[in-house]
Amino acid sequence: MANAERRSLNSLMALVSEAAQLISEEAGKGSQILVLSHFDADGLAAAGILGSALRRLKSSMHIRAVDGLDEETLGQIPIDSSDLLVFADFGSGLLDVLSKKMMRKAIILDHHQPVGTPGDKILHVNPHTFGFDGATEISAAGVTYLVARALDTRNLDLSALAVVGAVGDMQDRGEKRSLHGLNSMIVEDGVKAGSVKLDRDLVLYGRETRPIHRALAYTSNPFLPGLSSQEDKCLALVTSAGIVVKQDERWRTLADLRDEEKQNLLSAIIRAVTSKGVAGKIALNLIGTAYTLPKEERGVPTRDAREFSSLLNACGRMNRQGLAISICLGERGQTMDEAQEVLAEYRKAVAQHMTWVTETPERVEELTGIYVIHGEGTIDENMTGTISTILVSSGTFNPMKAVLVLAKTKEGELKISARGTEQLVTSGVNLGKILQELTSKHKGSGGGHDIAAGANIPVECEKEFFKELDEAISQVLKVRI
């Protein structure tokens, strides 16, 4: 680690310690602590980490997860009824607004690009402030874990949830789909605590829990045309690869396969996606680093970090955030059964939305620098992030254009989830900053990361907004060329 990076890390950790000290003091006084988090996998994992740490302090707390943070949401939450408010996985994009509204102490544990300046009441912990990339190097769950670790060394086991949050936030973009940057430090903590185990494997959804063909069908990152969400076709492919799918009447899982069988399976997948006109190298993204949580029982979805994150994401998107937080806090049994039912409903909804996108190409508008999927009236507003992520990884769109999925909100606004590729970001496009600047101009709200961002705008601004967004992205690419 270079000296400058070491100094930055030391500065970040000093602020982490300050946040931990404030939480410890408030917990010691018996203060009421409100934890407010985002409802995706990363935000829910962050809430689980903080909830577990506060429980060990025997602190009085309340946890609430919501789909986003804006002035309207803040107006619906009794933010001044608690002695300490902790924001997890959002808050950095509303620093000026929060500074005016907060009458009591607050901590922001976030990893999105900051906008504005925190006031005296706010302790703002964000890796971007110290030169670390919150889109790739550490998630909100990771930032929250660092605070929990500073609170008590017993919390080293919570590194597992931080890993879940990081992979759920698609930060496994290092070599062979590994976590890197500050995330690698957290993984090391997990390995030392016996909470995390690393393996090189085919990264299919449900490596240890689901029949091979179902694990393949459930895999959406990368999205495999003709296979993802198609169990019957996946079963045919697995058997055509010469793989025995059952042993003693028990369905075999990926974990049961020999290396030779895995190679045959990968070759068959490459042939299948190539036949659909997609580059076979897309399937090579299935080879990666598997993060196993050995303290979880075999055969349960919480044993694999990616599967765990999918479970949390499903509960959040299906408005069952409380169920997800309960699982993060250690509840299993009936709670887990219920969560898996929610997951099944969620996967069905995702498959239906993806089928709709495929079968209605007229709803896909292609501009110079963006694709706009007009899902208004069809795509659920809680599903736009998932659909845009799947689409951008599908290999069916030009990687030098951003993919935007639209939906209509309950309030009648237009919700936008934007996703880019590594190539787009490397070329200088920063979706989070572009959306933040344009939405403020059009009486909306938006922001996020360079590669993944979101926004809400008035419906009447749609045409002009996308014209300006397309021009902004195209201009960046033109300058770089």
Domain boundary among the residues 342, 357, 372 is at: 357
Q: Is the pLDDT of residue 79 over 90?
A: no
278-313 pLDDT tens trace: 777 888 888 999 999 999 998 889 999 999 999 999
125, 147 Cβ separation under 8 angstroms: yes
Entry pTM: 0.89
**What DSSP string runs through 8-43?**
HHHHHHHHHHHHHHHHHHHHHTT-EEEEEEESSHHH
Number of domains in the chain: 3
Domain boundary among the residues 326, 357, 388 is at: 357
103-114 pLDDT tens trace: 788 999 999 999
Residue matched to tokens 């689409």 = 391
What 3-state DSSP class applies to 292? Answer: strand
Q: Is the pLDDT of residue 481 over 50?
A: no
78, 106 Cβ separation under 8 angstroms: no
Verify that 372 and 326 share a domain, yes or no: no
417-468 pLDDT tens trace: 999 998 999 999 999 999 999 998 998 989 999 999 999 999 999 999 999 9
Quick one: angle between helices 334-359 and 384-392, nearest 10? 60
Domain boundary among the residues 357, 387, 419 is at: 357
Verify that 393 and 322 share a domain, yes or no: no
Residue 196, in any domain of the structure = no
Verify that 352 and 368 share a domain, yes or no: no
User: Cα–Cα distance between 183 and 372 in angstroms, integer?
Assistant: 33
User: Cα–Cα distance between 373 and 405 in angstroms, integer?
Assistant: 5
Q: Is the pLDDT of residue 40 over 90?
A: yes
Q: Which residue range forms the structural domain that includes residue 442?
A: 360-480
Verify that 338 and 423 share a domain, yes or no: no
Residue 407, in any domain of the structure = yes
